[in-house]
Chains A and B, each alone.
Chain A
Amino acid sequence: MIRADGRTLALVALVLAVAACLPLTGSAYWLSLGISIAMYTVLTTSWALFSGPTHYISLATAAFFGVGSYTTGIGIEYLPYWALPPIAGVLGAVMAALVGLATLRLSGVYFVIFTLGLAELVRQVIIWFQNISGQKGIYVLTKITEAQIFWQLLGLAALVYAAGWAIGRSRLGFALRIIGDDEEVARHSGINTARAKVALFMVSGAAAAVVGAVLAPRFVYIEPSTAFTPMLSFQVVIMALLGGTGRLWGPLVGVIPFTFLWEAISASFPNQTTLLLGVSFLVIVYLLPRGFVGLIEGTRRRMRAREAFA
């Protein structure tokens, strides 16, 4: 077990090191694609940390992301940049805790509905605020380069994987797997189910907020309709489920092909991205209920079974 873990660790470090060399190629196109992939990797993996074991579909990613972007946007005038992502993380965690406390005691449907409208709710409140104060958008002018954003995201991805690995072997991770299997059983064996769910949802919310804060300098100009785009929440759900949420590396398997597909579709048919989202949802439900990971593991098991018979 320990040897296998060591090998995985070495493999992950190698992949990260190779990925970190991407800005050295000097190609702006590959770098921007790399940023997208790194961003979605962090978002989907942290999403799956919570939604994978519990089966609660969270559609709040855009809300956390937007709050993070606004933290950088507003805070950059008063504080040095390096202080902002941690602050965004704390804000995201607090917000997740509030949402979780209100909805996670109840059944999953309430949670889905609540998170579905959360981004829109925050957006309406910010627009209202701006109408009162007479301000429109915010300029974020920094000297941060694309390469620096990419490295920050990679670091964040490493952090999320480490957190996922640690949670997976902690009492909390064990408790969540039991909750996912049968919440009734979990409650009877003395697990405080609401607290476990809220704790993990906070991790996922904080990660999304930090990503928003890190990416804000890239947007240059922030306004509510771009910071809180609801598409983001759906993209994250699709990529994570497409990859498969049963394994820590599962979402990554969905992120890479979907990012390429998304880029291709939005470049040549910009109006058809909604249709693509819809079709992806249907494909996941009807053809790939366990994602690519399920497909890969199913094939592997069948091959092994065949070897055993031969």
Chain B
Amino acid sequence: MDILITGLFLGGTYALIAMGLNLQYGIARIMNLANGEMIVVGGFSAFWLYSSAQVSPLLTVFLVAPVAFLLNWLIYWIMLRPLVKRAKSRGQLEVDAILATFGLAFVSVGIMLAVFGGDYFSYSYLARPIRLLGDTYALNRATAFLAAVLICAAIYLWLNYSRPGMSIRAIAVSPESARLVGIDVPKLAALTFALGGAVTATGGALISMFFTLDASTGVIFTLKALVIVIMGGVGDVRGTIVAALLLGVLETFVAAVIDPGLTLAAAYLLFIVILLFRPQGLFGRRGT
């Protein structure tokens, strides 16, 4: 029970991060391997504002999200749009995007290392115990989980019940046909990419409340987010949430029962099983 709830809390935060990546990959068709670095940037802003001005990370989110939105929008137009234009096929765009975002990831890690050094950073916010169903949990994990649930729900509703949401889902299904029915694909793809970045950075700010980060932890988060996105199905919000919760629980279980050093190995085990048996994702349909 203890493991299950801790795992769900962790999984909820993972869901937010993976949702950001899924928006970027599923709709803007950019496999963003600098996703983890956006988490570290978000987490670092929360850390910096909290330790220098005692700003609550829950408020920092409202600053981090618009800044990350703008930053990712610029990244899309300046760096990625030329690649989209030049690509002759989906495969070529994938290779180019992977290399370019790798470059971006390394450059940002390098800059963060140069400016802030390689130290771990963590702060203590809401590190109080709360009691739930007879067990105690850390309040900051529960808070992060609640915030993540709210944001995920908002995105889900927006994608399913609003006009721009519908256009975005149309692009996810078929960019070519979306163009034919009068959807401005490049503009919406850029907006979705930016939105994905903002969601990821928000996840980073939330996760920094209870996770110790340093300049080079980003790649671990990128990997976990990728595993979740593929497990849940590319472009599938519902699948992402289920997959993230699953991964959170599995990781907590492995860390508690076997060894805390094996969390990534656990994620990989799940990944292999998915690749072998359901490569289209949990809810995906075969042969599209």
Interface residues of A (CB under 8 A from B): 55, 57, 102-103, 105-110, 112-114, 116-117, 120-121, 124-125, 127-128, 131, 230, 234, 241, 271-272, 274-282, 284-286, 289
Contact = CB atoms under 8 A, between A and B. Distances in A.
Contacts of A121: 264-265, 268
A282 B275 contact: no
A96 B152 CA distance: 38
B85 to A, nearest CB: 13
A116 B223 contact: yes
Contacts of B114: 271-272, 275
Given A128-B259, A278-B105, A285 B110 contact: no
A124 B261 CA distance: 6
A105 B280 CA distance: 12
B279 interface: yes
A212 B227 CA distance: 29
Interface of B: 31, 33, 82-83, 91-92, 94-96, 98-100, 102-111, 113-114, 118, 216, 219-220, 223, 226-227, 230, 258-259, 261-262, 264-265, 267-268, 271-272, 275-276, 279
User: Which applies to chain B's interface (DSSP): helix, strand, loop or mixed?
Assistant: helix
18 contacts: A57-B95, A102-B275, A103-B275, A117-B223, A117-B264, A120-B223, A121-B268, A127-B261, A234-B106, A272-B110, A275-B107, A275-B111, A278-B102, A278-B107, A278-B108, A279-B107, A281-B100, A286-B82
Given A103-B275, A113-B223, A128-B259, A281 B95 contact: no
A124 B110 contact: no
The 6 closest A-B pairs by CB, nearest first: A275-B110, A278-B106, A281-B103, A278-B107, A282-B103, A274-B110
B100 A282 contact: yes
A103 B114 CA distance: 37
User: Which applies to chain A's interface (DSSP): helix, strand, loop or mixed?
Assistant: helix
Contacts of A241: 99
Nearest to A51: B95
Contacts of A127: 261
Contacts of A278: 102-110
Contacts, number: 118
Contacts of B276: 102
Given A109-B31, A278-B110, A55 B265 contact: no
Contact of B265 (A107, A125, A272, A277): A125
A275 B220 CA distance: 18
A19 to B, nearest CB: 31
A281 B102 CA distance: 7
B131 to A, nearest CB: 33
Nearest to B108: A278
Contacts of B220: 120
Contacts of A106: 275, 279
A108 B271 CA distance: 15
B264 A120 contact: yes
Contacts of A57: 95, 98-99
A102 B272 contact: yes
A131 B261 CA distance: 10
